Structure 1
């Protein structure tokens, strides 16, 4: 929780929840183990990096796909899909070759996916229709060899191959299909998660798990040459002598000192060392007369990279009355919004979040004021963390926490 008179949770109870789930396909050692994970013969399907088991090159033949049972014929008999790359391959997308049978029409509505299609052979039509329209009432587009279309708006459509032969297409899906999907009566594929659960609709909370990061890029990319260290944002020098700057390792104990001087709940000094090093780009120090007078400890949640979550705000009693809390929030948000991709914030900042107890009037006013200055919407999710969530049987009580969501900016 971010607060000036805070009831902060200890680091061990909250920051550990930031751990990214283990990468899919972390099969180690033999190529056959990786191939088995994808349901394919070892000889021609996949290879694993000897250091860490990260999958690399994949070569797959039609015989491999057939042997794995990944040739799917529609229940309507209007198409056949040869599914070369699936969700289990860890590429972040799936790749299919599809044969649309001559003279046949299929109703399709990918409400849970984005699909791009390239016509390799043959011709046909795609008719875009809304939910109330029948075939013949929509907008018709002709498809020929070399045509490409992308259903970037989940468009409902009728896809038809010409009478003179099959239309052959290659298709790419995000999120990737698991391998057995077929259209339901509405033309919809379910989105299938790593546990095999089929979702015919889903909310924002499931998006990170349904749209996986490619395994090869889960931890970023390797530089082609020695890369310069990310640039540190220049200090902001205010008219009253306050300097807003990026924390350094030496600021970890200064942040802990400020907490000890206030009514903030203690985290360990180690937590503040992490804030000043691993989370420096999303945290801030306010310095006055060469001494740390305030700080913001923030981070970008891995599943919400467009959000800056403010974990804790502290202001030294010696700097009270200068409005440092709001000024630090403004400075940090401005810096995060302007940070170049090299600083690890390629995703533009659109939201700020924090959790606040119901009786913490100072912090509630702080974030309400920030939203007002940004002319941004403010939404409050009451009881985002219930009091029971903090109860470890030690007899110490903790109030519930409301989540403040500010944005989009």
Structure 2
């Protein structure tokens, strides 16, 4: 353990990037003023617990500060503690729980330390220093060590996302999502309720959990089969893609045949201001007009095409219409938007085939699942009940959520259109709107 004193930091030139600023809690009459903390290394990531925090600095160095109760130390942020036992472990991510800590190595290895009375550190003893925690899949023969790619910590539980996009949990409480009533759970266990799902990201509140999950692929459009019956251990709630085969539009929402070139640009949200899902801006309307004119000309030019061919083309276009038409023109209907590839030189956007889509792009056909305590509405299911196992938040299905986050008793979701949804406790105004508590996700409009 090594303390970094301000005197040591002053011998170095402050970095240009990764500067650390802090500000303390203040009363009604006190003014919040961020203070710059001089550290010798740029800060790459910071994670905060109840009364402590973790810093991941350049060079894979991990620092702790605050009330380190497991060591009987109180460390100011201006002189954080270097976690010397993690040197050389190539740490790429840190996660602070309520009173415990986690670190993730480049090779997918997990290290935990801090308060462990609920088993949240994955050990049966006190863990004052970082200690390796193995995530082992015992369902295969021989058992294999699972590579972890994401880590999140709550007050009494920890979650790990594997490279196979499976979720593992340990600690105590219904926020684990495990089929057990025996706590603590000392060793990481797979969250069976999400087996077969592609989990993208996880987040932990104090006593609740969130998971961003890729929607199930749609059924074959040529097969008119009824929805599958849910098997034991699976959620009885359908995802957006499972329902869409039953979706129809009336004549009021009719679009000309062959409208298959209008899609949403995945990258546009990073280059422009927020645009709501029901936007009818001049730019959007102009794109629709140009698209329809182009398709009209294309259909008129097919003089040699038979009526059957045109009908087949129209049928194919209709099956894709839900993902191609902006929701402003399909009021109240679900939406599906596909990944696309941009051509900046021509200023035009062209759809990418699903098999040609870049795997590095975030999936926009996502769902948000939540479980654990719900007394503050932080689960987003419209009530204040607890959930023992993961359950899909229906109101966020089809909203193209790309990231989830959780506070102690509230939750947030960010969409590809730069929209922010918040729900749960609003005691300190953390939701950004006046309703309190909020039991279903509400969109929050941000102003500059």
TM-score of the superposition, structure 2-length normalised?
0.24
> Which structure exhibits the higher relative contact order, with contacts defined as CA atoms closer than 8 Å and separated by 6 or more residues?
1
Of Structure 1 and Structure 2, the greater helix share is in: 1
TM-score of the superposition, structure 1-length normalised?
0.25
